[in-house]
Amino acid sequence: MAVLKFNKSQPEKVREGLERRIIYGSNLMTVLIDFADGPWDKPEPPHRHTHEQTSYVAEGEIIFFCEGEPDQHLKTGDMFFVPSGKMHTVQLLTEKVRLVDSFNPVREDFLK
């Protein structure tokens, strides 16, 4: 069984204001993402990937944008789903946002 203890793990600094911690198996990946550079005037550039994605808003508020869907204002406790291949992005509405993302299959591009 794989275990990641928050207090004993070092986050990966993706960029200034964005850190992540990752745990994964052969078919599923969960990523804890901490943003500390909000709020943003505009969303990040949209992107797409072949992975299915679910996300849980553990802290903060965002606007979630997904191709073909109405924009959604999401708060702590809300969740969203991104089908494979759909353009999507977020915009932070609060200074800090924590997302818990799950991907199937594993995002090989996130692994070193």
Digit-coded pLDDT (tens) for 13-34? 999 999 999 999 999 999 999 9
Dump strand ranges (E) for 43-96: 52-59, 61-66, 72-75, 79-82, 88-92
pLDDT average, residue stretch 71-98: 98
**pLDDT of 62 strictly over 90:** yes
Number of independent structural domains in the chain: 1
Tell me if 6 is assigned to some domain.
Answer: no
Looking at the domain assignment, is residue 4 inside a domain? no
Residue 77 lies in a domain: yes
Report how far apart, in Å, the C-alpha atoms of 36 and of each of 56, 103, 112 are.
17, 23, 23
Distant-in-sequence, close-in-space partners of 58: CB < 8 Å, separation ≥ 6: 32, 76, 98, 99, 100
Asked if residue 1 belongs to a domain, the reply is no
In a domain, 8, yes or no: no
Other residues' Cβ atoms within 10 Å of the Cβ of residue 33: 19
pLDDT attached to residue 1? 58
Query: Count of CB atoms within 10 A of residue 1's CB?
Result: 3
Q: What is the CATH number of the domain that holds 88?
A: 2.60.120.10
Domain extent for 60: 13-110
Is residue 82 one of the residues assigned to a domain? yes
Residue 3 is assigned to a structural domain of this protein = no
Q: What percent of the chain has pLDDT over 70?
A: 99
Whether residue 112 has pLDDT greater than 90: no
- Is 2 within a domain? no
